[in-house]
């Protein structure tokens, strides 16, 4: 029987931590109550578990528990934040500022608003993937109601200067939303220090279950009916997100957040050192390889590399038996093609077409890193041996990319 591939795609999703699963299990069978049932003990048990989960997630991000709204994940949180703010504040202006490298959940929510007559500014990033805070300042007008910028990019791991952007929006009374699905717990993040008004989180990116997430909404906004609810019904989550709460999911999300709060920074240091080990080995052994995205600060588990003179699709295909990685564009895998993130960073098509996102995680070992490095080195070597372009390069003939 062949060995299972090594998993190095933790930006896509993470396994549920065994400790998290153990915490969740009773809430499927014995403690199965509906947290909204106010008249009996089963409901009370479920409600108390939900409130513990809320406090645990709040503790990770520097929020108050009543500032968190549970959702089905970061996609829903992004939609609720952007569409909900737009709906609630459309009398104040109809302009939103975001960046070209945001996740599709943000970009497509903005497209939906454009269809309703909103103006959207999509900021360029530099070659390292950074948004310049000055460019944010220049984009703001008296019509701007929301700026939305992510914490860490899901493809290239680049970390944005949220504190600088938040200072600009706070000065002008413009709301600031952050998609913090990636890197939460590993990277510094505080809603107060960064002047963040709304933030999206996802449990399955941090060793919790799939199908549960949260939106942080600053208390002063909630008091003014911002954002407007996008899901109507029983008035759950202070009327901001109706629907029976996913109690086991929320319990798991809370447990995962608590583990991240206590262990995240140490884990980040370990991951960054394994990631650098992988990078150094690949750079030592393979010519014509480039790092996509700034080296630092960066999501500690992220390594995004482009390999020259190889066919990207073939590279992924030849790797997949031994290692599960994605191409840069895999986060929107419903739409294959060159990564819009790499394109926004100005990475030439020939390079972006052969890019790989390595996503290291909690259970990644040094032995796995060595095996993955050996495999990539071998596959790239093999593909280049059959590449006419590589042969041409070896003969000293320049290639005009
Ligand atoms: C930055 C970012 N935002 C949002 C999402 C969507 O999260 P979810 O799967 O919880 O809907 C993802 C997941 O790919 C992501 O990486």
Residues 6+ apart with CB under 8 A from 317: none
Closest CA to 194 of 172, 159, 167: 167
Check pocket membership of 150 for ligand 1, CB cut-off 6 A.
yes
CA 195 to the chain's CA centroid: 19
Structure tokens at 59: 């503790």
Active-site position among 110, 132, 178, 331: 331
105 CA closest ligand 1 atom index: 4
Residues 6+ apart with CB under 8 A from 72: 211, 212, 213, 246
Taking the CB of residue 363, how many other CB atoms lie within 10 A of it?
12
**Burial environment of residue 196 by CB neighbours within 10 A (0 to 12, 13 to 18, 19 or more):** buried
Closest CA to 105 of 177, 195, 1: 177
Check pocket membership of 184 for ligand 1, CB cut-off 6 A.
no
Q: Are strands 95-99 and 198-202 parallel, antiparallel or unpaired?
A: unpaired
* Residue-wise burial string across 113-152, b where 16 or more C-beta atoms lie within 10 A, e elsewhere: beeeebebbbbebeeebbbebebbeebbeeebbbbbbbbb
Residue 240 is predicted with a pLDDT of 96
Fill in the DSSP letter of residue 359: E
Separation of alpha carbons 352 and 330, rounded Å: 12
Could you tell me the maximum CA-CA distance found in the chain, to the nearest angstrom? 81
Structure tokens at 401: 């990319």
Taking the CB of residue 299, how many other CB atoms lie within 10 A of it?
28
153 CA closest ligand 1 atom index: 1
Check pocket membership of 73 for ligand 1, CB cut-off 6 A.
yes
Cα–Cα distance list, 237 to 214, 231, 232 (Å): 11, 11, 11
pLDDT digits (tens, 9 = 90+) for 140-181: 999 999 999 999 999 999 999 999 999 999 999 999 999 999
Fill in the DSSP letter of residue 303: E
Instruction: Note if 331 is an active site residue.
Output: yes
Q: What is the Å distance from ligand 1's center to 45 Cα?
A: 30
Closest CA to 45 of 242, 251, 327: 251
Cα–Cα distance list, 334 to 44, 112, 152, 248 (Å): 41, 19, 22, 29
Structure tokens at 298: 């960066």
Q: What is the Å distance from ligand 1's center to 74 Cα?
A: 5
Residue 350 is predicted with a pLDDT of 87
Separation of alpha carbons 401 and 385, rounded Å: 19
Residue 331 is predicted with a pLDDT of 44
Which residue pairs from 334-340 have beta carbons closer than 8 angstroms and sit at least 24 positions apart in sequence? Answer: 339/155, 340/100, 340/101
Residue-by-residue pLDDT tens, the chain, 401 positions: 468 999 999 999 999 999 999 999 999 999 999 999 999 999 999 999 999 999 999 999 999 999 999 999 999 999 999 999 999 999 999 999 999 999 999 999 999 999 999 999 999 999 999 999 999 999 999 999 999 999 999 999 999 999 999 999 999 999 999 999 999 999 999 999 999 999 999 999 999 999 999 999 999 999 999 999 999 999 999 999 999 999 999 999 999 999 999 999 999 999 999 999 999 999 999 999 999 999 999 999 999 999 999 999 999 999 999 999 998 644 444 556 789 999 999 999 989 989 999 999 999 999 999 999 999 999 999 999 998 889 888 888 766 65
Taking the CB of residue 75, how many other CB atoms lie within 10 A of it?
20
Q: What is the pTM of this model?
A: 0.96
Q: Are strands 302-307 and 95-99 parallel, antiparallel or unpaired?
A: unpaired
């Amino acid at each position: 029987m062949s060995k299972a591939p090594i998993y190095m795609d933790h930006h896509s999703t993470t396994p549920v931590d065994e400790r998290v699963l153990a915490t969740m299990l009773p809430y499927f069978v014995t403690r199965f109550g509906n947290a909204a049932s106010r008249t009996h003990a089963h409901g009370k048990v479920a409600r108390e578990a939900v409130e513990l989960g809320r406090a645990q997630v709040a503790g990770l991000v520097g929020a108050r528990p009543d500032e968190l709204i549970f959702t089905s994940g970061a996609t829903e949180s992004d939609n609720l934040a952007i569409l909900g703010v737009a709906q609630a504040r459309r009398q104040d202006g109809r302009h939103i500022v975001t960046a070209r490298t945001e996740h599709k959940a943000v970009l497509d929510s903005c497209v939906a608003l454009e269809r309703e007559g909103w103006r959207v500014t999509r900021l360029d990033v530099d070659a390292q993937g950074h948004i310049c805070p000055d460019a944010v300042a220049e984009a703001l007008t008296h019509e701007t109601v929301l700026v939305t910028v992510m914490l860490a990019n899901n493809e290239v791991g680049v970390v944005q200067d949220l504190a600088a952007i938040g200072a600009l929006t706070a000065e002008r009374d413009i709301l600031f939303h952050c998609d913090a699905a990636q890197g939460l717990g590993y990277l510094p993040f505080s809603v107060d220090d960064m002047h963040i008004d709304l933030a999206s989180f996802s449990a399955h990116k941090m060793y919790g279950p799939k199908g549960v997430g949260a939106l942080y909404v600053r208390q002063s906004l909630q008091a003014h009916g911002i954002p407007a609810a996008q899901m109507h019904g029983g008035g759950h989550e202070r009327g901001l997100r109706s629907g029976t709460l996913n109690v086991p999911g929320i319990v798991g999300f809370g447990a995962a957040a608590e583990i991240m709060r206590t262990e995240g920074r140490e884990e980040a240091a370990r991951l960054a050192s394994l990631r650098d080990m992988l990078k150094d080995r690949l750079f030592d052994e393979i010519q014509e390889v480039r790092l996509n995205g700034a080296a630092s600060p960066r999501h500690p588990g992220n390594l995004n590399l482009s390999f020259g003179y190889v066919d990207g699709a073939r590279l992924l295909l030849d790797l997949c038996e031994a290692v599960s990685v994605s191409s840069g564009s895999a986060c929107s895998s419903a739409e294959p093609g060159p990564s819009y993130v790499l394109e926004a960073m100005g990475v030439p098509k020939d390079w972006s077409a052969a890019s790989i996102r390595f996503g290291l995680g909690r259970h990644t070992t040094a032995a796995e890193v060595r095996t993955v490095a050996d495999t990539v080195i071998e596959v790239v070597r093999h593909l280049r041996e059959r590449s006419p372009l590589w042969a041409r390069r070896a003969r000293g003939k320049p290639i005009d990319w």
